[in-house]
Every structure is written in C-alpha cells, then in structure tokens.
Structure 1
Amino acid sequence: MTIKVLRGNPTPEELAAALAVVRARAAAVAAEPSGADRPGDAWSDPARVAAHRLPQPGPTTWARTYWPS
C-alpha cells in the first residue's frame, strides 16, 4: 500500500497518526466475518422500510400514502 500526501506539509507525527488510523481500519475490516457469516446490511433490511409510521385511517389517508408528512 502506498500513501501519498497531495496537499500540505504534514509533520512526521501527523503522518504516523494518519497511518495508525489507516492500519486500525484495515485490521477491523480483516477481523469482520466473511460474507456468509456477516449479519445483513442495514440497507437491505426490510424492517427499515416498515419502520416509518403509517398514516392513520381517515378521509385523506389516500393522499398521504405516497407523500412524507
């Protein structure tokens, strides 16, 4: 892996801190379970769509069905 500084003039301490963050993130990604063992992603969770409050029954419910309140 190559890290390239595009702007600025970081000190050695700043470079070391940035490298520590990158290495910690890489270690966290490597420690995650593989695709089959990993729990579902929040974006693919059907409960995310149904989590919003449904409109209450009434004469204008049909108009509020497709528009956020």
Structure 2
Amino acid sequence: MAHEMVHAQQLIEGRLVQCDLAHYRWKDQACEKVANIAYLDRPWEKEAMETGAALYNAYRSKFLALSPVQLPE
C-alpha cells in the first residue's frame, strides 16, 4: 500500500502525469509509451519501490517493533 501511495503523491505533485491511456510523463521529460519501458526501468516505479519500502520499514519499526525488510537487489 505504501508503494501505491507514493504513486498518488507523484500524481498529485505533477511529477508523474498520465498523458493518455498508454503514455506517461515523468518530471519534465516527454510523454513516453509506458509499454516500451521495462517495469523496473520506469523512474516512477523505482522511486515508489524505494520510498514505499522506507515508509513501510519506518512503520514496522515504530508501530510493530519489527526489524526492517530489505529490498531484493
């Protein structure tokens, strides 16, 4: 859920823009067909994975007293 909330933040702040059903723009770059970009190469997904994991780990450690989860390399 944290991952998806990062996408919500990206959209609200205008860093991620859905140009149409198949094209997205990241920051000030031109709209690109999302199918042409590998999932793990999409900059908005990279940010969502990293930031989402950090939020989740902060929640785990503060509210659940659990150790952090490491992202696979």
Using CA pairs under 8 Å that are at least 6 residues apart, name the structure with larger relative contact order, 1 or 2: 2
Normalising to structure 1: TM-score of the pair?
0.32
- Quick check: which one's helix share is greater? 2
- Quick check: which one's strand share is greater? 2
